[in-house]
């Protein structure tokens, strides 16, 4: 059983990444464009307002990049940081625990993105297309000649 689960791990991680990224992007789209019920019960966040508009842009762009698996680690780091900021600046002053202060989504997104920073995108990521191409180029290049490299 353990062997099969280990073999499926990259695919489970890829699915986790895609779902978390999609859900995060939906929050950004709701805040920026008023879709899916809009921001906080309807409407949009006014352009350029701090921190709401910037958070929404990070949510939309970062969530889309993570969902696609493009620049996953960097996008996840920025997204995680934005959710940590949201939790400690917006929610935590109300109460210590996320269940009491309404910060559950911020806390979960923060930790989910931080996990992706360390694990990478998993399977089915756009990043994998570029890394496999780089690996094949490296394998086809001849090994550098040490004697020539020293004499140059």
pLDDT in tens, 78-90: 999 999 999 999 9
Confidence of residue 130 (pLDDT cuts 50, 70, 90): confident
What is the model's pLDDT at position 37?
A: 77
- Mean pLDDT for 122-145 is 67
Q: Report how far residue 4's alpha carbon sits from residue 107's, in angstroms, rounded to the nearest whole number.
A: 31
- Mean pLDDT for 7-29 is 95
Q: Report how far residue 36's alpha carbon sits from residue 75's, in angstroms, rounded to the nearest whole number.
A: 23
What is the model's pLDDT at position 38?
A: 73
Examine the pLDDT at 103 and tell me if it is beyond 70.
yes
Give the rounded percent of residues in the chain with a pLDDT score beyond 70.
86
- Mean pLDDT for 44-60 is 87
Residue 136 or 93, more confident = 93
Q: Is there a cis peptide before residue 51, judged by omega within 30 degrees of 0?
A: yes
Cβ-contact 139, 89 below 8 angstroms = no
What is the model's pLDDT at position 26?
A: 94
């Amino acid at each position: 059983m353990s062997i099969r689960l280990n073999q499926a791990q990259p695919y489970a991680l890829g699915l986790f990444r895609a779902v978390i990224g999609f859900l995060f992007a939906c929050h950004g789209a709701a805040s920026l464009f008023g879709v899916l019920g809009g921001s906080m019960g309807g409407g949009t966040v006014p352009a350029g307002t701090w921190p709401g508009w910037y958070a929404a842009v990070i949510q939309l762009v970062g969530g889309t990049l993570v969902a696609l698996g493009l620049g996953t680690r960097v996008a996840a780091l920025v997204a995680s940081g934005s959710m940590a900021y949201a939790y400690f600046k917006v929610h935590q002053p109300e109460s210590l625990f996320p269940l009491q202060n309404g910060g559950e989504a911020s806390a979960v997104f923060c930790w989910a993105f931080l996990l992706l920073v360390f694990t990478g995108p998993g399977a089915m990521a756009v990043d994998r297309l570029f890394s496999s191409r780089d690996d094949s180029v490296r394998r086809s290049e001849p090994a550098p000649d040490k004697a020539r490299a020293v004499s140059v």
